[in-house]
Structure 1
C-alpha cells in the first residue's frame, strides 16, 4: 500500500479507533497535546500536522502514561522547546527513551522508517546513553510490553495484512 501522509494518518486513526474506542485522535496541530477526559468528553490526542510518526509518538506516550497521568492534560509532562541546555536535553532524553522504544516497535509493525528524535535542532548528536536506553526499551516492547502497549502492538498487527504488517508507505 502506497499512501500519502494524510491517508497514512487516517489509516492509523482508524486502527487506533478499534483499539481505543473512547479516544479521539486529531491531526493538524502545531504542537502535540493530550487533553485528559472531562465529565462529558473523552480524551483527545492532538498530533503534529499530518505526520504519522507524530501520531505514533503521541500514542506511545498515551500507552505508557498509566491511568493517573491519563487523567491530567498532557499527561502532566513538562516541555522545554528547542534551545535546551545540555542538562535540559539530558532530562529530555531520559524521559523520551521509553516512548521512542514503543514508537520504534509500532513503526516496525506498520512499515514506517524510524529514527530517534531529539526534538533539538542544535546539531548535537543523540547521546550514546539515549540510543542504548531506546534500544533497551524497544526490546522490552517487543518481548514483554506493559499491558496498554501490548494491546496497541497486538491491535496494530491484527489490523494489518496477513503478515501482520500495515505497510503504509
Structure 2
C-alpha cells in the first residue's frame, strides 16, 4: 500500500479546516504548530520533510491539545532537543505517551507501520524503547476501552474509510 502525505493532508483538512480553522501542511524543516496570527488566518500543523510518520505524529499532538494550547506556538510545551540526560528523557517520555498512543491508532487506521519514538539519538542514556512502547500500548488500550478523544475518533474513522482498515481491537496493538 502506498502512503502519500497528500492523502493525509486532504483527509485532515476535510475533517478540520472548516470546523477548527486548522490545516495540515508539509514543511521543509523541523515540525511545528503555529496558531493563526496577523499574517496567516488559519492554524497550521507543519510536519517534517513530507514524512508520513511525522505528519501522523504532529497531528496526534493537535488531536490532544485543548483550546488554550491550540492558541500557542507548539502548544506552549517545552521541548528539550536530542541529547537529553536520563531525567530529561523520562520527562519527555511522560508527555509523549498519550500522543504516541493516538499516533499508533492513526497508523493502524491507515495500515501504516508504527514505530515508537524516543527521539534521543545523542543522549547520555540509551532509552528503553521496549518499556516506552509498552507504556504507549497501555495508553492506547485505555483509549480503546474508554474512547479516544473526539477529534482523534473523527480522523481515525476518516482514515479507516480511506484506507479500508477494520475497526481497532486490542489485538492490533502488538509489542
Partner of residue 156, structure 1: 159
Structure 1 gap ranges (5+): 165-169
1:2–1:105 Cα change, 3 Å: same
Q: Determine helix, strand or coil for the equivalent of 2:128.
A: coil
Partner of residue 91, structure 1: 91
Q: Is residue 100–residue 116 contact of structure 1 (8 Å, CA) maintained in 2?
A: yes
Inter-partner Cα distance in structure 2 for 1:161 and 1:131: 26
Task: Compute the displacement of 1:163 (Å).
Answer: 5.3
RMSD: 2.2
Q: Is residue 56–residue 106 contact of structure 2 (8 Å, CA) maintained in 1?
A: yes
Partner of residue 79, structure 1: 79
Q: Determine helix, strand or coil for the equivalent of 2:5.
A: helix
Count how many residue pairs are aligned between Structure 1 and Structure 2. Answer: 161
1:154–1:2 Cα change, 3 Å: closer
Inter-partner Cα distance in structure 2 for 1:86 and 1:19: 39
- Match status 1:132 vs 2:134: yes
With 106-115 and 24-33 compared, the bigger mean Cα shift is at 24-33
Task: Compute the displacement of 1:132 (Å).
Answer: 2.9
- Once the two structures are superposed, the pairs formed by residues 1-169 of structure 1 within 5 Å of their partners are 1-3=1-3, 8-21=4-17, 22-38=21-37, 41-122=41-122, 124-126=126-128, 129-143=131-145, 144-161=147-164
The TM-score with structure 1 as length reference comes to 0.85
1:29–1:152 Cα change, 3 Å: same
Q: Determine helix, strand or coil for the equivalent of 2:66.
A: helix
1:55–1:127 Cα change, 3 Å: closer
Q: Determine helix, strand or coil for the equivalent of 2:24.
A: strand
Q: Is residue 93–residue 118 contact of structure 1 (8 Å, CA) maintained in 2?
A: yes
With 126-135 and 72-81 compared, the bigger mean Cα shift is at 126-135
Q: 1:25-73: per-residue Cα shift (whole Å, max 9, x none)?
A: 2213311100012366110011011110100000000000111111111
Q: Determine helix, strand or coil for the equivalent of 1:131.
A: helix
